Amino acid sequence: MELPLRYIITVSELTQEIKETLETRFSDVWVEGEVSNLRIPPSGHIYFTLKDDFSQIRGVLFKMRARTLRFLPEDGLHVICRGRVSLYEKRGEYQLILEEIEPKGIGALQLAFQQMKDRLEKEGFFDPNRKKPLPLLPKAIGIVTSPTGAAIRDMIQIIQRRFENMQILLYPVRVQGEGASREIAQGVKYFNKVKNVDVIIVGRGGGSLEDLWPFNEEVLAKAIFHSKIPVVSAVGHETDYTISDFVADVRAPTPSAAAELVVKEKRELKKNLSYLTNRLESQMLQFVQEWRSDLSFLRRRLVDPKKRIEDYFLRVDDLLNRAQRYLFWAIKGKKERNQYLRERLLLQHPGQRIRNLRTSILDAWDRLEKHMKYSLEFERERTRGIWGKLASLSPLAILERGYSITRKLPSMEILRDIVQVKPGDQVEVKLHRGTLFCNIGRTHES
């Protein structure tokens, strides 16, 4: 049996055929998807994955094409891409080589504008605390705009009408197209370098977002941010907003409005000046009148120096007399106090205190002796009285009058009734002098 003939090719040959087929079949395609895994290496190329709910494909935007983007792709951004399908032979992977990228649902310029605005706001470019006030009356005005546009004609006309002979310096630039933003930024830097103006107007007339794009570039934003001279941004119409509007010290809705902002009307200034002059004169007259009144009052209070000196002499003499009297009484008071202290000190001397105590003791002893004699005599008389009373009440005194006390023996019971004894009992009879011991022979009740 004969084997069928087989046509065998190498991996490289197969890969080359697939690459040719893909690049021929998909040489120019538009693909929609979501950006993920975005990375930008030092080479400047942009690598990412473009995916939807079911599939994904690698994409690359080389550096030369990436420079033309107005915005920066980021993860999660829904985009529409134009490019060709190619195959990277080393890894056998196919990918999109992109030529264009634009966000879906929002224009690339609008997205770039929002990205730039958010980033500069975070860096403090829009901080109101750093914005400078406009001068009240500038000596010279610098305008950075196109020399052929209607904006410069309108601004010059309005400035000259409001304040004739105002010095206007024009720095001519392109206001749209590639490189216009660098020219405008150079104009701002020029006026800051030569310092020959007091305020700078940066602006142009209306147009599309793409026409106004130079005023959204970072190079112009930085020039306005670092300007030492106040900058007025006057770009487009009242509804148009650019990055320079947010960075500038003042935003004017139109170039004509900018001209009105930086220059006050001379007639109005003259009117205000006249009003202020009248107020100043009135205030000065009032001050003069007040000063005259004060001067008249002070003149009345002002006394002849000779008389004032004489008054001072009299006052000094009076003060000297008062001081002498005060010193006399002060010295006298000190002497009296010293004498008092000396006497107190003498009384506090130990010897004197002993003598004083001895005298006090002798006096107290005399008083004690007299008091004791008086007390003894008083007590003696009192005792005599009490003794007399006791003597009159004493049983002995009764016995002395012939009475006696009879007590039964041996109980020594005092007898008051005959029923207390019977014949044969012994009794004791106490007399005034002596005692009788008797036997009861008989009793008789009286």
> Would you state the structure tokens that stand for residue 357, as one six-digit string?
């105590």
**pLDDT tens digits along 226-270:** 999 999 998 877 777 888 888 899 988 888 888 888 888 777 777
Distances (CA, A) of 126 to 6, 215, 359: 73, 15, 108
For residue 446, what pLDDT is reported?
Answer: 65
Which pLDDT score is estimated for 107? Answer: 55
The tokens for 89 are 């032979």
Instruction: Say how many CA atoms lie within 13 Å of 228 toward its Cβ.
Output: 9
Q: What is the C-alpha to C-alpha distance for residues 312 and 321, in angstroms, rounded to an integer? A: 14
| Rounded CA Rg of the chain | 68
Domains of the chain and CATH, by start:
11-105 (2.40.50.140), 114-126+137-264 (3.40.50.261), 400-439 (no CATH)
**What is the pTM (predicted TM-score) of this model?**
0.46
For 40-51, give the secondary structure using H, E and C: CCCCCCEEEEEE
The tens digit of pLDDT for each residue in 160-171 reads: 888 888 898 999
* pLDDT tens sequence across 323-338: 888 888 888 888 888 8
Q: What is the DSSP letter of 99?
A: E
| Cβ–Cβ under 8 Å, residues 119 and 217 | no
CA atoms within 13 A on the CB side of 283: 6
The pLDDT assigned to 441 comes to 83
Extract the tokens encoding 4: 């069928």
Distance CA 342, CA 332 (A): 15
Q: What is the pLDDT of residue 109?
A: 61
Q: Do residues 140 and 198 make contact, with C-beta atoms less than 8 angstroms apart?
A: yes
Residue stretches of the chain with pLDDT short of 70: 1-6, 105-112, 303-304, 347, 446
